[in-house]
Amino acid sequence: MERNYLADSNRYKTMKYNRCGKSGLLLPAISLGLWHNFGFADNFDNSREIIRKAFDRGVTHFDLANNYGPPAGSAEEVFGSILKKDFASYRDEMVITSKAGYDMWEGPYGEWGSRKYLVASLNQSLKRMELEYVDIFYSHRFDPYTPLEETMMALDHLVKSGKALYAGISNYSPEQTQTAIQILNKLGTPCLIHQSRYSMLDRVVENGLLNVLEDNGVGFVAFSPLAQGVLSDRYLKGIPTGSRASKAHFLKPGFITPELIASISQLNDMALQRGQTLAQMSTAWLLRDHRVTSVIVGVSSVQQLNDNIDTLKNIAFSKDEEEKIRSIVEAVYFMPLG
Ligand SMILES: NC(=O)c1ccc[n+]([C@@H]2O[C@H](COP(=O)([O-])OP(=O)(O)OC[C@H]3O[C@@H](n4cnc5c(N)ncnc54)[C@H](OP(=O)(O)O)[C@@H]3O)[C@@H](O)[C@H]2O)c1
């Protein structure tokens, strides 16, 4: 695919951009995550085509982490190589993130939330992506063994050193989030954003987290909006070859029970009545809440990407529809790993 890339001149016409909390930063309602499908193990041309198409359709926000691949780190390398080939002149139109918190390298300094790990990890990520800075750097998970002050001081340091423009946290509880926000405020580097799992099948963030963020003017991005593909038509007729569940690593086939599929079918019928795919209805359902700044989708094809971005054609729900969705998903509430 060695053709030159020129971004679509209409790219900002249809995407919706939401303010991230009370910050100056706008994020697209649909963002793209590179957890799966962008490693050395994946098809490079497909990965590149997805990034190009996303940008052509106004997706400016690309979500990465040190450990995305497989192998860990390779998604950042693949993305860096796509940036170099296609996006050298578009860097200032992109919001690129990385994170550190999970197991990344051997020994006592390769995971969690020490200053030692976070600073080393971002330095490695910048090298892999061949970037001077990331736009947002996240503490990927709360570290029960390290003082929260140390983790937040590391984020503050990385922002003040120019290696990240903003600081974020991910997978923190409402209480941990409140404390982290206070520490960062004192340091003079406000918390920009919180990233957590949120879908019709996992609504834990409704129990306090979204309120803490709104009260403090912090943005929220939802990950795994389709519960890794379950909230789409992907598994209605079994587990297709090549699908995430068929790989049986992050999404275990055992989660996809006949009871779950019966409920997913009901949701699918509802989506079709609304003139949408189920993937679109699932993402729209998240975006109907003004506290959700952006939804990070993961895709294995340009077709899925287009389908997801077309969500924005209809994100309104009637009271009846909301009630019906609530009653269907309450029966099958589950939490896929990820
Ligand atoms: N902060 C954290 O701890 C954390 C954790 C997890 C994820 N994330 C971020 O969130 C991003 C998204 O997570 P996710 O990949 O789990 O999201 P997801 O959108 O819930 O699941 C993505 C999968 O759903 C399927 N899919 C997507 N669009 C579809 C469509 N229109 N129709 C049918 N199937 C569709 C594809 O499965 P197939 O591959 O089977 O085609 C795709 O790989 C990640 O890339 C990452 O950036 C962050």
Q: What residues make up the domain containing 219?
A: 17-229+280-315
Name the closest-CA residue to atom 5, ligand 1: 338
- Start-end of H helices in 130-173: 148-160
pTM above 0.85, yes or no: yes
pLDDT digits (tens, 9 = 90+) for 163-187: 999 999 999 999 999 999 999 999 9
Whose C-alpha lies nearest to ligand 1, atom 6? 338
For ligand 1, the distance from its centroid to the CA atom of residue 104, given in whole angstroms, is 21
pLDDT in tens, the chain (338 residues): 667 899 999 999 999 999 999 999 999 999 999 999 999 999 999 999 999 999 999 999 999 999 999 999 999 999 999 999 999 999 999 999 999 999 999 999 999 999 999 999 999 999 999 999 999 999 999 999 999 999 999 999 999 999 999 999 999 999 999 999 999 999 999 999 999 999 999 999 999 999 999 999 999 999 999 999 999 999 999 999 989 999 878 888 888 999 999 999 999 999 999 999 999 999 999 999 999 999 999 999 999 999 999 999 999 999 999 999 999 998 776 554 44
- CB of 39 within 6 A of ligand 1: the answer is no
Handedness of CA 8, 10, 15, 17 (dihedral sign): positive
Q: Which two tokens stand for residue 149?
A: 């002050």
What's the rounded Cα separation, in Å, for the pair 285 and 325?
A: 9
Q: Which atom belonging to ligand 1 lies closest to the Cα atom of 298?
A: 15
CA of 317 to the centre of ligand 1 (A): 23
Kindly give the distance from the C-alpha atom of residue 299 to the centroid of ligand 1, in angstroms, as a whole number. 6
Paired with 221 in beta bridges are 195, 294
Best residue for ligand 1 mutational test, from 30, 31, 95, 300 (most atoms within 8 Å of Cβ): 300
Residue whose pair of structure tokens reads 């405020």 in the numeric block: 185
Q: State the total domains in the chain.
A: 1
| Mutation probe of ligand 1 site: the residue of 98, 228, 230 with most atoms within 8 A of C-beta | 228
Domain-located, residue 9: no
- What pLDDT is recorded for position 337? 40
**H or E element in which residue 122 lies:** helix 115-129
Check if the beta carbon of residue 140 is closer than 8 Å to that of residue 99: yes
Distances, alpha carbon 109 to alpha carbons 100, 114, 121, 122, in Å: 11, 8, 10, 13
Q: Is 38 a member of any domain?
A: yes
Q: Could you give the CA distance from residue 337 to residue 250 in angstroms, rounded to a whole number? A: 6
Q: Answer whether the bond into residue 70 is a cis peptide, omega within 30°.
A: yes
Is residue 64 situated within a structural domain?
A: yes
DSSP letters spanning 12-26: TSS--EEE-TTSS-E
- What pLDDT was estimated at residue 255? 85
Pocket lining: 280 vs ligand 1, CB cutoff 6 Å: no
Residue among 78, 226, 233 to mutate when testing ligand 1 (max atoms within 8 A of CB): 226
CA of 153 to the centre of ligand 1 (A): 31
Q: 295 alpha carbon to ligand 1 midpoint, in Å?
A: 10
Q: Is the CB of 276 under 6 A from ligand 1?
A: no
Alpha carbon nearest to ligand 1 atom 4, residue? 223
Closest CA to 235 of 278, 203, 201: 278
Backbone angles phi and psi of 128, in degrees to 5:
-65, -40
- 122 in a structural domain: yes
From ligand 1's centre to the CA of 214, what distance in Å?
25
The CATH number assigned to the domain holding 138 equals 3.20.20.100
